[in-house]
Amino acid sequence: MPLEPIIRFGGGSDVDALRADIRQWLSEHLSDEFRRTSANPDYLSRDGHERAVAFCRELHAQGWFVPHWPDEYEGGGRNVVEQVVIREELAYAGAPLVNTNGVNMLAPVLFRFGTPEQKAEQLPKIARSERMWAQGYSEPEAGSDLASLRMTARRDGDAYILDGQKTWTSNGVLADWIFVLARTSPVAGKRQDGISFFLVDLDTPGITRRPIRSMTGYPTFAEEFFDGARVPAANLVGAEGEGWRVAKALLDQERSNVTRAAQAQRYLDELIDWCHARRGSSIDPLADPVNRVALARAVERVEVGRALSYRVAHLQAAGALDPGLPSLSKLYHSELTAELRALGAALLGPAGELMPDDPDAVLDGHFSEGLLLSILHQIGGGTSEIQRDLISTAGLGLPR
């Protein structure tokens, strides 16, 4: 079933018309290939990725790829309500929005901390899907405890020399560029001090990249080795030593989860439709009241998730975001994704364990593959345990 507005936040006939326009356009331009891979849109083959890039360029021509950006950077100049509507409609349909690291994470940071030259160089290329970005935060001994990172950046004239390693790099295989955190001065007081934020071309001499295959079989992650890689000083975002402030702002964007709730609604609707189609048969999940209660709870959880996503988006736009709310949203949607995928796999029975490439897979393997990916979502971007800690300290003001 299509998404229904649950919270208006200033919507109305114009927003309803926008929804209708997007749905009509998607019915004509979104291929079945992407609708089938909606559970896993970021994990495409190289050929599939190129087709997704072409789709995103068509989307950009409509003004819907970066709808909230100002006109000078090729955005649509739309308000927050329109932005949320566009994103959730695309997510629900399974549209392959490539370069989420660039659009959803790096771009907001550049708008806030970037120099005019950095904005002019990077933002239009992101909008046109001409430059793909990877996130270079995690290291072998610095994941959720990011402040313990060991990569160094030493100033040398008009450049910095980067040495160290990044691992479990999101979109590391397909990316052209990577944003990284590196230590520009040794630890003296707080570990967060002396860390800087850099934009790095992955073709820079001294960088070696190796793919990492995940449990789903996709080599989308990578590890990078920096051995004297020379990065222009003009690629430093923010002041030297203030990278932690930049990184925190970026993670707030990563954890807003505007589209995750719409994806959850899509999976839930597919599951409910599948159950209804088997009413009265020998395989009727709804005959068991336990399953009916579980589905009812899932409906409630998804509705709350959409409301939370709208709230985060509006507070971000107003510059009034509670410091603990992004972590709450990230935690909620990570746990919701895991719960929903586990419920689907259980209701589907043995067929729910088949992966998408199996000819007998049910619902395109969304729940089997998604169940594996839900583990990733509970770790990537900060583990659920870390989110609970941030909610209690930054959000509630409790002592550490």
Residue 249 DSSP symbol: H
Q: How far apart are CA 238 and CA 235, in angstroms?
A: 9
Q: How far apart are CA 398 and CA 400, in angstroms?
A: 7
Instruction: Please give the single-letter amino acid code of residue 138.
Output: S
| CA-CA-CA-CA dihedral for 31, 35, 36, 41, to nearest 10 | 110
DSSP string, 202-223: TTSTTEEEEEE--TTS---EEE
**Looking at 254, 270, 303, 385, which residue is catalytic?**
254
Q: How far apart are CA 50 and CA 79, in angstroms?
A: 30
**Do the strands 177-183 and 133-136 form a parallel or antiparallel pair, or are they unpaired?**
parallel
**CA pseudo-torsion sign 200, 203, 208, 211:** positive
Q: How far apart are CA 235 and CA 396, in angstroms?
A: 36
Active site residue 270: no
The set of catalytic residues is 254
